[in-house]
Structure 1
Amino acid sequence: MTFTTLPASAGIGLRLPHVREIIDTRPAIGWFEVHAENFFGGGANLAALMRVRADYPISLHGVGLGLGSSGPLDERHLAAWQALIERIEPAAVSEHLCWNRWQGEYFNDLLPLPYTEAALSRMVERVSQWQERIGRPVLIENLSSYVAFPEDVISEAEFLVELARRSGCGLLLDVNNLYVNERNLGRDARAALDVIPPALVAEIHVAGFELRDDGLLIDSHGAPVCDAVWDLLDAACTRFGRVPTLLERDTHLPPLAELLAEAGEIERRLAAHRPSPHSAAVKELTP
């Protein structure tokens, strides 16, 4: 199955301070990702995104659907997603392995799930519902976590693989999140890579983190990628092949030239690896 038509190259997040420069200069970058909810209201932001979309593939990345929440999915949110997908015709659609609602209350965060059969069944149901609504497979991203649940019965990687098997979704593998969880919770990041079949991974994220005085790593997306995460990206590409890889930066945003230079490091590392099974399927679809 082809989960995305993104090129197997580096992308960066499209952020408002850089939009005018990107439209004017058309930098040499393979694709852009945006947070979908920022464009649900239409207006000038959506108009600017449409101008960028004319020159680059776009990945729509969600942060608010809360697929693992116990209540039903928000109908207005689903409708907004569907309308944006029809307008943008994105190369990829993705969300997180998380929950964000409880008894009518909404939490503006990506909250971790226990890795139990009940949580897995709920995720399968919600992901399947979303895919049926928009008429295409989606990618689900692993989360950075700061707590582990005593109820866990399988690993995060096993949970993701079973979710993909039952729902037909693909996986967006965030290697920075794997590293953060290894440092914070003692989860073996490289062992997680070995659990996931290469054909399921259709996109990778890398990012920087904040190191607190107490040693906790915070997934802030506010710093350059560290050497350990670069090494983990190499390990991921050795296993999964060359796949679309995003440089995430949401805080302490540097000039566009700095982001493009860091994305160039992604390109250098991707070039050292074979194409992934997924990217080979995408190539077959390309005229």
Structure 2
Amino acid sequence: MGSQFVSHKVGMGLRPPHYPYLEENPQTDVAWFEAISENYMDSLGRPLELLLKLRKDYPIALHGVSMNIGSTAGIRVDYLEKLRNLIDRVEPFIVSDHICWTGIGTQNMHDLLPLPYTEDSLQQVVDNIDFVQDYLRRPLALENVSTYLSFRHNEMPEWDFVSEVSKRSGCALLLDINNAYVNGMNHGFDPINFLRSIPLDRVAQIHMAGPSDYGRYMFDTHANEIPEEVWSLFTQMAPQISHIPICIERDEDIPDFKTLETEVMKAAYILESSHESQRSTIFV
């Protein structure tokens, strides 16, 4: 795997346009891959075959988008059964989803919808997490999501809600730095304050991605290169997160594999530089 900046902590989202490249080039400068759970739960064809092939050479994380952890009707057992079967086959090092709701009953909205930051909502999420973790027989990591509206009856800021979800349920957190940036721009707070308010000892994974800027608001499209503002936040956080697995995401306008691999290497370089800086300070 060649480069001096390879870090065992920096991975990439696994996406279908990269299947041909990975089938021909199994050795890359990417340390691990994150697969979208739903893309493989009902598949017995090429996607799952490639995922299991990659699993022989790389650690794999499973990242869901339809668990509906904020549901007031509880979590669908048929969904969890499929997820548990996939977990048994892939043996991922982490299983994650989002702090949001995604539908009502069997109706999936195919979007990550915001929750009110209230005690009632918090308790519902915690109860659902308890059920999921018991069913899967393993801890879950949950991600902060991008939002474009806020509820007037919110009782706490987002960072307190996210922190309390982890504290009360025992779940880990997947900290998305891009989402903190998007929400800061959309709702008028400093995203570094959000990031510094999250208990990093509860963070099991970190996401980095690029949003779209529509002038009046930011939209979490994962369609662009990671902007300098997000890299700046990442760099500020690097001394405290160098031990945490990092994932580079891209979901639209996906470039060739080598282009995204460059972003992986940039993240690895920032982490390594931060580590070297810390060591230099210690030994001065």
Q: Which amino acid aligns with 1:216?
A: Y
Report what 1:192 is aligned to.
194
Partners of 1:68 and 1:113 within 8 A in 2: yes
Distance in 2 separating the partners of 1:218 and 1:133: 34
- Where in structure 1 are there 5+ consecutive unaligned residues? 1-6, 276-287
CA shift, 1:100, in A, is 1.5
Distance in 1 separating the partners of 2:137 and 2:275: 30
Aligned counterpart for 2:140 among listed residues 138, 156, 166: 138
Q: Which amino acid aligns with 2:28?
A: P
Secondary structure of the residue aligned to 1:273 is helix
Report what 1:46 is aligned to.
48
- Where in structure 2 are there 5+ consecutive unaligned residues? 1-6, 277-284
Distance in 2 separating the partners of 1:104 and 1:240: 38
CA shift, 1:166, in A, is 1.0
Distance in 2 separating the partners of 1:91 and 1:102: 30
Partners of 1:32 and 1:58 within 8 A in 2: yes
Q: Which amino acid aligns with 2:274?
A: H
CA shift, 1:152, in A, is 1.0
TM-score (normalised: structure 2): 0.90
Aligned counterpart for 2:161 among listed residues 159, 162, 166: 159
Partners of 2:177 and 2:195 within 8 A in 1: no
Secondary structure of the residue aligned to 1:43 is coil
1:113 and 2:81 aligned: no
Shift in alpha-carbon separation, 1:216–1:89, aligned structure 2, 3 A: same
Partners of 1:71 and 1:101 within 8 A in 2: no
Partners of 1:8 and 1:245 within 8 A in 2: no
Partners of 2:29 and 2:265 within 8 A in 1: no
Aligned length: 268
Report what 2:11 is aligned to.
11
Distance in 2 separating the partners of 1:248 and 1:168: 26
Shift in alpha-carbon separation, 1:127–1:273, aligned structure 2, 3 A: farther
TM-score (normalised: structure 1): 0.89
Report what 2:4 is aligned to.
none
CA shift, 1:198, in A, is 2.1
Distance in 2 separating the partners of 1:136 and 1:101: 24
Q: Which amino acid aligns with 2:11?
A: G
CA shift, 1:8, in A, is 5.1
Distance in 1 separating the partners of 2:79 and 2:232: 37
Report what 2:38 is aligned to.
37
